[in-house]
Structure 1
Amino acid sequence: MAKKPGSTPQAMRNRAAKTAAAMASPAAVAQSQPKKKTSPAQFAKEVRAEMRKITWTSRKETWITSVMVAIMVALAAIFFTVVDFGLQFGVTQILKLATAG
């Protein structure tokens, strides 16, 4: 039987350490990591660098997505209207049978 990749004791310890770090309380994480002091200029540079990574949707993609949402809303409205009328009809028929007898 072949051995699964990553099933060595060292790999298991590494995964356990990662899990423990992820499960640590925010207070413990905050204490273990010293706060970095950044200047306002450095902060602005980092913000600009992150803003360059953003990809915006095109006008065409936004329009197509909006139309698809409108179509799905209309289909959901029709579906729930049909289900509502069906349930109303069924309950009405049951109540007619109960009062007729």
Structure 2
Amino acid sequence: MAKAKTPGGRRTAGGKGPVAAQTVSVDTPAPKKRTSPVQFFSQVQAEGRKIVWPSRKETWITSVMVFIMVLLAAAFFFVVDFGLSAISQRILAIGT
């Protein structure tokens, strides 16, 4: 049977417990710089140029797939609703 490693894959001293407590330093976040409105809008335009729009064919195929999934979900919930309704009516009819 293999021995379990300690976090970080470090071995313990002589295999009997941790070597020493480790300290963790946390970097403080740098103060946020303010962006001018002109710089902001130029960054927005640069990001807008990176957008890759789907082709007409890709849009059509995706729309058809969504429509098919909606029909399947509607059919599934119709069957489940019908089944639960029939079961509840039979249970309620027992008392009459």
Shorter chain as normaliser: what TM range?
0.5 to 0.7
Match of 2:65 in 1: 68
CA distance in 2, matches of 1:79, 1:37: 51
Q: 1:92 to 1:59 in 2, by over 3 A?
A: same
Unaligned stretches of 5+ in structure 1?
22-28
Larger Rg: 2
- Structure 1 counterpart of 2:80, which letter? V
CA displacement 1:39-65 (0-9 Å, x = unmatched): 62x444433322221111111111111
CA displacement 1:3-57 (0-9 Å, x = unmatched): 78x938xxx94xx636xx6xxxxxxx6xx525345462x4444333222211111
Quote the RMSD (CA, aligned, Å).
Answer: 3.3
Residue 67 of structure 1: CA displacement?
0.6
Q: 1:48 to 1:93 in 2, by over 3 A?
A: same
Q: How many residues align?
A: 82
Match of 1:90 in 2: 87
1:35-50 to 2 correspondence within 5 Å? 35-38=33-36, 40=38, 42-50=39-47
Percent of residue pairs identical: 50
Q: 1:87 to 1:53 in 2, by over 3 A?
A: same
Unaligned stretches of 5+ in structure 2?
10-22
Match of 1:25 in 2: none
Larger helix share, 1 or 2? 1
Q: TM-score, normalised by structure 1?
A: 0.60
